[in-house]
């Protein structure tokens, strides 16, 4: 079975072809990505209308590229999958429209996929894939969640951010530091030359006793700290603020992940979403999990941020478990869509 996946929920157009047998981990035949970062950079963030228009321009050439690289043709595609949500409504509609039109033209079924389910399952495409059950730390630009994952579609929300997501905290703090968009990688780069203990920034909800997160206060603390440094902080001060901010975010993510592992008694952690690319987070999780005989799994670095491979993969894994792709091409999208609600639906 060959599944073509289309991702267009935000500022990356991703297309991929995944091949799957009736069981076993699906394999990635080819994937292609176009990032809109350069286009949105001038505005300091994603402009939804520009994002939608660019997805329209990119999606078919990327599809042709993927098929060419996989040595396949459209006739070989058995199922077309697309990101149904959550994400920007207009951007989602482009991927959904193209996927459904392609499937209709080919007479093949379509399947709408949850974007976070894609992130969550993306480590299955790594060379050392995880096994169920595991705790998942989902850290993207819009979501920060800890989930217990027993199988595809069996997700229990253990805790989540009550305000800003971790990626948002990186992005907003980066903006305050005058760094470009997307802020996470830029802040992480600046932090390399700073001291993580230079400024005592808050670790929100660290001792709350539950597995929820809150990052909105951190951004305010970064703003206050920068004000104290005056109009022209030195490069050293800016690097120190970046390192201290990153240290605060990473410490909260680390401690809460360890608490989730303790609470569930599970010995496996999967880290997914863009912030999962952060090297301080990876280093600290690896060190602390090793002490506790916990295995940590990440997606390949190239599949940490948004991509089509994770969408084709999630669809293939669902199909292996009996989800039926449909021939109803009257698509809809779900800009807001809680991942935990999938557990209630039939897999």
Residue 170 found at the interface with ligand KG4 (CB under 6 A):
yes
Among 105-113, 139-147, 200-208, 242-250, the segment contacting Zn ion (CB under 5 A): 139-147
Question: Exactly one of 36, 63, 245, 278 binds ligand KG4 (CB under 6 A); which one?
Answer: 278
C-beta of 277: minimal distance to ligand KG4 in Å? 4
C-beta of 328: minimal distance to ligand KG4 in Å? 27
Residue 46 found at the interface with ligand KG4 (CB under 6 A):
no
Nearer to ligand KG4, 279 or 341 (CB): 279
Residues between 220 and 249 with contacts to ligand KG4, criterion CB under 6 A: none
Nearer to ligand KG4, 87 or 319 (CB): 87
C-beta of 78: minimal distance to ligand KG4 in Å? 27
Binding mask 187-226 for ligand KG4 (x = CB under 6 A): -x--------------------------------------
C-beta of 140: minimal distance to Zn ion in Å? 4
Residue 299 found at the interface with ligand KG4 (CB under 6 A):
no
C-beta of 83: minimal distance to Zn ion in Å? 9
3-state secondary structure the chain: CEEEEEECCCCEEEEEEEECCCCCCCEEEEEEEEECHHHHHCCCCCCHHHHHHHHHHHHHHHHHHHHHHHCCCHHHCCEEEEEEECCCHHHHHHHHHHHHHHHHHHCCCEEEEEHHHHHHHHHHHCCCCCCCCEEEEEECCCCEEEEEEEECCEEEEEEEECCCCHHHHHHHHHHHCCCCCCHHHHHHHHHCCCCCCCCCCCCCCCCCCCCCECCHHHHHHHHHHHHHCCCCCCHHHHHHHHHHHHHHHHHHHHHHHHHHHHHHCCCEEEEECHHHHCHHHHHHHHHHHHHCCCEEECCCHHHCCCCCHHHHHHHHHHHHCCCCCECCCCCCCCCCCCHHHHHCCCC
Gap between the Cα atoms of 220 and 226, Å rounded: 10
Residue 277 found at the interface with ligand KG4 (CB under 6 A):
yes
Nearer to ligand KG4, 102 or 275 (CB): 275
Applying CB under 6 A, what is the total number of residues that bind ligand KG4? 20
Gap between the Cα atoms of 96 and 223, Å rounded: 40
Gap between the Cα atoms of 269 and 296, Å rounded: 5
Residue 167 partner contact from ligand KG4, Zn ion, none using kind-dependent CB cut-offs of 5 to 8 Å: ligand KG4
Residue 145 found at the interface with ligand KG4 (CB under 6 A):
no
Residue 141 found at the interface with ligand KG4 (CB under 6 A):
yes
Residue 168 found at the interface with Zn ion (CB under 5 A):
no
Closest CA to 41 of 171, 164, 170: 171
Question: Exactly one of 108, 259, 306, 312 binds Zn ion (CB under 5 A); which one?
Answer: 306
Tell me how far CA of residue 212 lies from CA of 71, 166, 259, in angstroms. 46, 12, 11
Residue 275 partner contact from ligand KG4, Zn ion, none using kind-dependent CB cut-offs of 5 to 8 Å: ligand KG4
Nearer to ligand KG4, 85 or 103 (CB): 85
Nearer to ligand KG4, 26 or 183 (CB): 183
Binding positions for ligand KG4, rule: CB under 6 A: 10, 119, 140-142, 167, 170-171, 182-185, 188, 273-275, 277-278, 305-306
Residues forming contacts to Zn ion in the complex (CB under 5 A) are 140, 306
């Amino acid at each position: 079975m060959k599944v073509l996946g289309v991702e267009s929920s935000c500022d990356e157009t991703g297309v991929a072809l995944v091949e799957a047998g009736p069981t076993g981990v699906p394999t990635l035949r080819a994937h292609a990505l176009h990032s809109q970062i350069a286009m949105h950079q001038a505005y300091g963030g994603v402009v939804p209308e520009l994002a939608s228009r660019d997805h329209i321009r990119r999606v078919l050439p990327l599809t042709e590229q993927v098929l060419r690289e996989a040595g396949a043709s459209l006739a070989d595609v058995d199922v077309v999958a697309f990101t149904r949500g959550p994400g920007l409504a207009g951007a989602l509609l482009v991927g959904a429209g193209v996927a459904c039109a392609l499937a209709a033209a080919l007479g093949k079924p379509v399947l709408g996929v949850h974007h976070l389910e894609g992130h969550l399952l993306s480590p299955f495409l790594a060379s050392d894939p995880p096994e169920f059950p595991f705790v998942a730390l989902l850290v993207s630009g819009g979501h920060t969640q800890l989930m217990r994952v027993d199988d595809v579609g069996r997700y229990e929300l253990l805790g989540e951010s009550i305000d800003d997501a971790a990626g948002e905290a990186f992005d907003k703090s980066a903006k305050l530091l005058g760094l470009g968009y997307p802020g996470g990688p830029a802040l992480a780069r600046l932090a390399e030359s700073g001291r993580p203990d230079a400024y005592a920034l808050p670790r929100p909800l660290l001792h709350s006793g539950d597995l929820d997160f809150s990052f909105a206060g951190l951004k305010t603390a970064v703003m206050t700290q920068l004000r104290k440094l005056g109009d022209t902080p030195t490069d050293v001060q800016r690097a120190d603020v970046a390192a201290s901010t990153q240290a605060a975010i990473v410490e909260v993510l680390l401690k809460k992940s360890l608490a989730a592992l303790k609470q569930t008694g599970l010995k496996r952690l999967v880290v997914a979403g863009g912030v999962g690319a952060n090297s301080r987070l990876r280093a600290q999780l690896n060190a602390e999990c090793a002490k506790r005989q916990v295995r940590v799994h990440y997606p390949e670095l190239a599949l940490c941020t948004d991509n089509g491979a994770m969408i084709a993969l999630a669809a293939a894994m669902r199909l292996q478990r009996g989800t039926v792709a449909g021939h109803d091409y009257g698509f809809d999208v779900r800009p807001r869509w809680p991942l935990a609600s999938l557990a209630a639906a039939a897999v």
